[in-house]
Chains A and B, each alone.
Chain A
Amino acid sequence: MHCIRKVTDDLLWIGASDRQHPHFEAVLPIPNGMSFNSYLLLDEKTVLFDTVDRAVQGQFFENLEYSLKGRALDYVFVHHMEPDHAATLGDLMLRHPEATIVCNGKSLNMIHQFHCTDPKKVILINEGDTLSTGRHHFTFYNAPMVHWPEVIVSYDSTDQILFSADAFGTFGALNGILFADEVDFDRNWLDESRRYYTNVVGKYGPQVISLLNKVVKLELRMICPLHGPIWRKNLDYMLDKYTKWAAYEPEVQGVLIAFASVYGGTETAANILACRLAELGIPVEMYDVSVTHYSYVLSDLFKYSHIVFASTTYNNGIFISMENLLHVMAHHNLQNRKVALIQNGSWAPCSGKLMSQLLCDMKNIEVLEAPITLKSTLAPGQDQELEGLAKALAASVRGDEPVLVEDNETSKPKGFVCKVCGFIYEGDTLPDNFVCPICHRPARDFEPLS
Chain B
Amino acid sequence: MKYVCDICGFIYDEATEGPMPDDYTCPLCGADKSHFKPEE
Q: List, in ascending order, chain A residues with CB within 8 A of B9's CB.
A: 142, 144-145, 149, 207
A144 to B9, CA, bound (A): 7
B28 contacts the other chain (CB 8 A): yes
How many residues of B are in contact with the other chain, CB < 8 A? 5
A363 interfacial by beta-carbon distance below 8 Å: no
Within 8 A of A (CB), among B1-40: 7-9, 28-29
Query: A106 near B: Cβ within 8 Å?
Result: yes
Cα A204 to Cα B8 in complex, Å, equals 11
Cβ contacts under 8 Å, B28 to chain A: 145, 204, 207
Once the chains are docked, how many angstroms separate the CA of A422 from the CA of B28?
Answer: 33
In the bound assembly, the distance between CA atoms of A94 and B29 in angstroms comes to 32
What's the nearest-Cβ distance from chain A to residue B17, in Å?
17
Chain B residues closer than 8 Å to A204, beta-carbon distance: 28
**CB closest chain-A residue, reference B7:** A149
Question: Which residue of chain B has the shortest Cβ distance to A206 in the bound complex?
Answer: B28
Of chain A, the residue at the smallest CB distance from B31 is: A149
CA distance A357 to B9 in the complex (A): 30
Q: How distant is the Cα of A101 from the Cα of B34 in the complex, in angstroms? A: 29
Contacts of B29 in A (CB 8 A): 145, 149
CA A435 to CA B7, docked complex, whole Å: 38
Inter-chain CA distance A102–B7, complex, in Å, is: 19
State the Cβ distance, B36 to closest chain A Cβ, in Å. 14
Give a binary string over A144-186; 1 marks a CB under 8 Å from any B CB, 0 the rest. 1100010000000000000000000000000000000000000
Query: What is the CB-to-nearest-CB distance from B32 to chain A, in angstroms, rounded to a whole number?
Result: 14
- Expressed in whole angstroms, the Cα–Cα distance for A204 and B10 within the complex equals 11
List the B side residues contacting A149 at CB < 8 Å. 7-9, 29
Shortest C-beta distance, A246 to chain B (Å), equals 14
Could you tell me the distance between the alpha carbons of A207 and B28 in the complex, rounded to whole angstroms?
A: 10
- Could you say which residues of chain B place their CB within 8 Å of the CB of A207? 8-9, 28
The CA of A106 and the CA of B29, in the complex, are separated in Å by 14
Closest to B28 in A: A145
Distance, CA A207 to CA B29, complexed state (A): 12
Q: Which single residue of chain B is at the shortest CB-CB distance from A106? A: B7
Query: 12 A-B Cβ contacts within 8 A?
Result: A142-B9, A144-B8, A145-B8, A145-B9, A145-B28, A145-B29, A149-B7, A149-B8, A149-B9, A204-B28, A207-B8, A207-B9
Additional A-B contact list (11), CB under 8 Å, known A145-B8, A149-B9, A207-B28 = A142-B9, A144-B8, A144-B9, A145-B28, A145-B29, A149-B7, A149-B8, A149-B29, A204-B28, A207-B8, A207-B9
